[in-house]
Amino acid sequence: MSTTQARDRVALVTGGSGGIGRAVVERLAADGDAVAVHYAGHEARAKDLVDQVVAGGGRAIAVGGDVADEVAMAAAFDAVTEAFGAIDVVVNTAGIMLLSPIATLDLADLDRMHRTNVRGTFVVSQLAATRLRAGGAIVNFSTSVTRTRFPAYGAYAASKAAVETLTPILARELRGQDITVNAVAPGPTATPLFLEGKSEELIASIASANPFDRLGTQEDIAEAVAFLAGPARWVNGQTLFANGGMA
């Protein structure tokens, strides 16, 4: 049994106030982890989720900050350590997706995505690399679009391809520390953000791209995260494509 599995774990989930991040928080809390729900602009939602976890018998706090701001995130890590004594798991769900053909993309949108998706993941991973206990896990987030290469996703997929490259390099740099570093790459997932503005016909077409003929759920993705964050000690430096078998 690993060091982390032998005792209560503490998890920090960036972007944990909504969407897939919320499902990850709920899943890790169900496993018995103490959870820190990170938010950038949705403090009330984060605190509501904390209340939900605590009401269910779990342990949780909310921490805020821009993931790309190393000072703010260092303070968030400090707050989690002060509350729970240590950190074992860091899950980087925080990210933004702005879609446009490459030829017409507003470069300000490119900068926004890369600040959050690339710099933010780098900052949080850098802090995690120096603060996690032995037996810990870092789980980053990519996207299946790095393989499917849908039009209009160029800048977003490029930011996530950077995450996929960062992940195995950090795993190798943490040799001897008993910390795994992996990424989850979801396929189309039925989040409110994904469903917004799409016709039923378009959603059905997208859902048919995998053998299950459905969209993924937030719980599907959270299950993959829980696997990498807990029992998957021999999976390291990998990107797990959680997309139902999408090509």
pLDDT in tens, 169-222: 999 999 999 999 999 999 999 988 788 888 999 899 999 999 999 999 999 999
- 247 vs 84, residue with greater confidence: 84
Confidence of residue 23 (pLDDT cuts 50, 70, 90): very high
pLDDT, mean of residues 39-49: 95
* Whole-angstrom distance, CA of residue 226 vs CA of residue 228: 6
pLDDT, mean of residues 98-117: 96
Q: Which fold has domain 10-242?
A: Rossmann fold (3.40.50)
Across the chain, what does the average pLDDT equal?
94
Q: Is there a catalytic annotation at residue 153?
A: no
Are 217 and 190 spatial neighbours (Cβ–Cβ below 8 Å)? yes
39, 84, 156, 241: the catalytic one is: 156
* Whole-angstrom distance, CA of residue 97 vs CA of residue 106: 13
CA distances from 150 to 54, 95, 102, 243 (A): 41, 18, 12, 15
Give the pLDDT of residue 81.
Answer: 98
